[in-house]
Structure 1
Amino acid sequence: MKINLIYFLKFLLFISFKSFAQDADTFTTNNVMSLVAPKNHQETEYHLQQFLRTTKSLVIPIAFTTYGFMAIENHPLRQINSEFREEILEHHPQFGTKIDNYLQFSPSLLAFSMKLAGNKGKHDMLQTFKLHAASTILMAGTVYLLKTNTHLLRPDASARNSFPSGHTATAFVGAEILHQEFKHTAPILSYSGYLAAGATGALRMYNNRHYFSDVITGAGIGILTTKATYWLDKKLHAKHH
């Protein structure tokens, strides 16, 4: 299992770095050459800014995912999981809600609602639906693979499929799509999905269904798989033009 997880982590990091092209031109040989032998100073500055921007956008989700994998067997990180759980149970021992079962879909619902209201965003409705479906399939497959290979016990001891949080991953897929579609036409609103997704993850912990590392990893996976889908879509469209 350890070997499988190591190879899987390498694969996940590979596709996440490929998603650099999501917000900028792919850093291909041609782009590298434009930096080595630029046509002008503005072109060099443009490529450098795009590269730095896309690199920065991946730091957090990669860090989240890496943290989760490390927490599987790292004692100090597992201790952090226990401390979070103990703190929640101490102050909210009777807490219980099913809101997280619905809140996980709210970022996606907002994205499609905005399109129905007339704000097209980056893609039309059909293309956004395809991107959402592909991102969800990739995310769900990733989550299932990890759950069935790690067999980590949930905090409430109800099942051995704690890692990672599927609810959180689902919420962050929607949040990332909302941001990618509307970051230029409704920039402030495009970030609201992350708040709902973060709340979903927090509620999973308060409901004693997941540990902190489960939620953090779910967030990272949701973002990375969506970025990978947008990258692949851009590559496919580039080949047809």
Structure 2
Amino acid sequence: MTRHFLRTQLFCLLIFSSLLPSSSLAQADTTLWVVRPADVIAPASLAIAGLLTQGKISRHLQENVVSRYPHFHSNIDDYLPYAPGVISLGLAASGVKGKHSLGDQVILALLSNVIAQGVTQSLKRVIRYPRPNCEDYHSFPSGHSTTAFTNATILHEEYGQRSVLYSIGGYGTATAVGTLRVLNNKHWLADVLMGAGVGIGATKVLYISYPWLQKTVRKMKH
């Protein structure tokens, strides 16, 4: 392993661990902090997979993709990342009851995307990993994948309990975005996996902490 790769692993693990909910914090008030294993397993697994596939595995996959689809080009991956979030807010606006009201969903969507992109853009500028098409050095993690999985998690959290089809549709759309980023030669597999982990992790943390945030805001008003 190169020194750059080890530095990337360490930095990403430190950043990502700060996103994951702390068990001791969660136990401080069980009426506010409810952390399930699934809240941690999915984003952590994706982030670890992103670190493990960075380098040789991602380069080998990209060589195969480019050789098989040398002229592939699509712009749909610039719009799809927002689709699950738009659907969630659209359902709430039309009166379909989700986990939160429309107003709270708007706040959660804004904060989730801001936090997730804040982490992703910070990693991009610190790590400076080259894109497969050599366009720039802002490849790792994938910002499009972060946005897609952030919004897919919002749809899952709000309406997944009503029907698993919402979750399948949201995460299916996000997976399509990640696939298109690779096919367009904009990102490595590792970029997509880490972006997915950051998007899910940031959104899970916000949903877990939101009752505490609401309670804190109400206290400040009184």
Larger radius of gyration: 1
Q: TM-score range by the shorter chain?
A: 0.7 to 0.9
8 A Cα contact 2:8 2:127, kept in partner: no
8 A Cα contact 1:165 1:218, kept in partner: yes
Alignment partner of 2:160 out of 172, 183, 192: 183
What's the Cα RMSD here?
2.4
**Residues 30-51 of structure 1, C-alpha deviations (whole Å, 9 max, x = no match):** 76xxxxxxxxxxxxxxxxxx86
Alignment partner of 1:199 out of 156, 176, 179: 176
Distance 2:184 2:132 in 1: 9
Q: How far has the Cα of 1:153 moved from its partner?
A: 0.6
Corresponding residue pairs, total: 211
1:63 and 2:12 equivalent?
no
Partner of 2:76: 99
Q: How far has the Cα of 1:102 moved from its partner?
A: 0.7
Q: Identity rate of aligned residues, in percent?
A: 28
Q: How far has the Cα of 1:4 moved from its partner?
A: 8.5
The alignment's TM-score, normalised by the length of structure 1, stands at: 0.79
Distance 1:192 1:82, change over 3 A: same
8 A Cα contact 1:175 1:191, kept in partner: no
Partner of 2:20: 16
Partner of 2:140: 163
**Residues 84-122 of structure 1, C-alpha deviations (whole Å, 9 max, x = no match):** 111111211110010100111111111112112221201
**AA partner of residue 166 (structure 2):** L
Distance 2:75 2:65 in 1: 17
In the alignment, structure 1 segments of 5+ residues that lack a partner are 32-49, 72-76
Partner of 2:27: 28
The alignment's TM-score, normalised by the length of structure 2, stands at: 0.85
Q: How far has the Cα of 1:230 moved from its partner?
A: 1.1
2:79 counterpart SS class: helix
**AA partner of residue 189 (structure 1):** Y
Q: How far has the Cα of 1:3 moved from its partner?
A: 6.1
8 A Cα contact 2:142 2:192, kept in partner: yes
